[in-house]
Amino acid sequence: MITLYEQADSGNCYKVRLVAAHTGRPVRRVSVSSRDGSTRTPEFLARNPIGKVPTVELEDGRFLAESNAIMLHLAEGTSLIPADAYDRAKAYEWLFFEQYSHEPAIAVRRALSVYPERAALATPERLAQLLEAGNKALGVMEARLTKADWLAGDAFSVADIALYAYTHTADQGGYDLAPFPGIRRWLDRVAALPGHIGLLD
Amino acid sequence: MITLYEQADSGNCYKVRLVAAHTGRPVRRVSVSSRDGSTRTPEFLARNPIGKVPTVELEDGRFLAESNAIMLHLAEGTSLIPADAYDRAKAYEWLFFEQYSHEPAIAVRRALSVYPERAALATPERLAQLLEAGNKALGVMEARLTKADWLAGDAFSVADIALYAYTHTADQGGYDLAPFPGIRRWLDRVAALPGHIGLLD
């Protein structure tokens, strides 16, 4: 069984649990957090030198970090990785888009809004900048989801899991999804899938 | 032949040309840039809704964006993708590390330092923050490269190309590589490979 070092309400950690749920893989969960310093201990840094969650210990004792890399590894050989080469490349494209253009706005603005110790960093300028960047990322998703059910190819994939993780809590960061009906329908579609689990399940 | 929409001195675009060079694939190059607005035209946004380079038009006329996704696609079936599942997962890990923790510091500080129109954004606070973040990313690379020749597994891969692209011009952003001898040896190792091309070749 794999061990997931996680912070319970982290969308990046949720991605790993969603892939595990959809592929029927049990997960042992260990709670650590940047909020209490437990991701900066020598013991944790030996597992992941970047000191971030999620970090996974595989069955053979080796470690793997970066949420989207963990997803690609756990999903190999399953339908969560598109079989068609172009669809697979588009899934990769969405994964990198998520980490470069989506998460640094939408997840960060949520953290600034939800975690009291981050409030000092939540200047009006920063919040405005993150709102604009996040809405731009949501616009890119909406353009796809008004004409297709899923982000990459014609089936649910790791791309949908990666973007679902923080999009479904975007309201906690002050994002209004009312102008994005394609995204709202897609969120419902993901949540209705057999095997789906919630962020705090 | 694929068409690469690129900005000539962009490290992200250079990654695509390096993968093409190492896999013997010819590339038609078309110059566009965020600096002159040519990535924001309706024509370019139809190719890539995010309006960024690199964007690639494949042989069949379909488009693909995100430098690391393009690399994974072009390198499929070659030795640039590690054959071992764990080594491959580590390559993915480095690709996401590059886009989340390395490029947003090291490439951005270079752009602020090199492009005159960005100078107004180069506040002392921002430059100091980017220096710290970039040195932290370099430290993560150094820890690996003091004990191994290559980033993922025991051979040159897309992970090395992704990190080489901006690390080899880190000095242009004001980073000092003297404290990172493992990185300096690795830069030489990459540049000495048969088929290697320079950023401006």
- The answer to the question of residue A45 being in a domain is yes
- The answer to the question of residue A197 being in a domain is no
In our burial notation (b when 16+ CB lie closer than 10 A, e otherwise), range B17-28 reads bbbbbbeeeebe
A149 in the same domain as A104: yes
The CATH number of residue A121's host domain is: 1.20.1050.10
Q: Is A62 on the interface with B (CB under 8 A)?
A: yes
Half-sphere exposure (Cβ direction) of B174: Cα atoms closer than 13 Å: 18
A114 in the same domain as A168: yes
B115 in the same domain as B187: yes
Domain termination site, one of A52, A75, A98: A75
- The answer to the question of residue B199 being in a domain is no
A11 in the same domain as A71: yes
Whole-number Å distance between alpha carbons of B28 and B180: 36
Inter-chain touch A104–B101, beta carbons under 8 Å = no
pLDDT tens track for B37-68: 888 899 898 888 888 999 999 999 999 999 99
Q: Is B33 on the interface with A (CB under 8 A)?
A: no
Domain termination site, one of A75, A109, A127: A75
A32 in the same domain as A97: no
Cross-strand pairs, A57? A3, A63
B89 in the same domain as B67: no
Domain termination site, one of A36, A52, A75: A75
B119 in the same domain as B36: no
B93 in the same domain as B164: yes
Of all residues in chain B, the one with the smallest CA distance to A51 is B140
pLDDT tens track for A92-135: 999 999 999 999 999 999 999 999 888 888 999 999 999 999 99
- The model's pTM is 0.97
Inter-chain touch B99–A104, beta carbons under 8 Å = no
pLDDT tens track for B109-139: 999 999 988 888 899 999 999 999 999 999 9
pLDDT tens track for B101-115: 999 999 999 999 999
Closest by Cα among B150, B103, B91, B97 to A52: B97
Inter-chain touch A73–B58, beta carbons under 8 Å = no
Domain that holds residue A33: 2-75
Q: In this structure, what token pair is assigned to residue A26?
A: 């049990």
Whole-number Å distance between alpha carbons of A68 and B58: 25
- The answer to the question of residue B31 being in a domain is yes
Element (H, E) at B56: strand B55-57
- The answer to the question of residue A67 being in a domain is yes
The CATH number of residue A54's host domain is: 3.40.30.10
Total structural domains within chain B: 2
Rg (CA), chain B: 17
Q: Is A65 on the interface with B (CB under 8 A)?
A: yes
B66 in the same domain as B91: no
Of all residues in chain A, the one with the smallest CA distance to B102 is A100
Interface predicted TM-score (ipTM) of this complex, two decimals: 0.97
Of all residues in chain B, the one with the smallest CA distance to A64 is B90
Task: Considering only the beta carbons, identify the residue of B50, B62, B100 that sits closest to A99.
Answer: B100
Q: In this structure, what token pair is assigned to residue B130?
A: 């980017």
Task: Considering only the beta carbons, identify the residue of B50, B93, B103 that sits closest to A69.
Answer: B93
- The answer to the question of residue B80 being in a domain is no
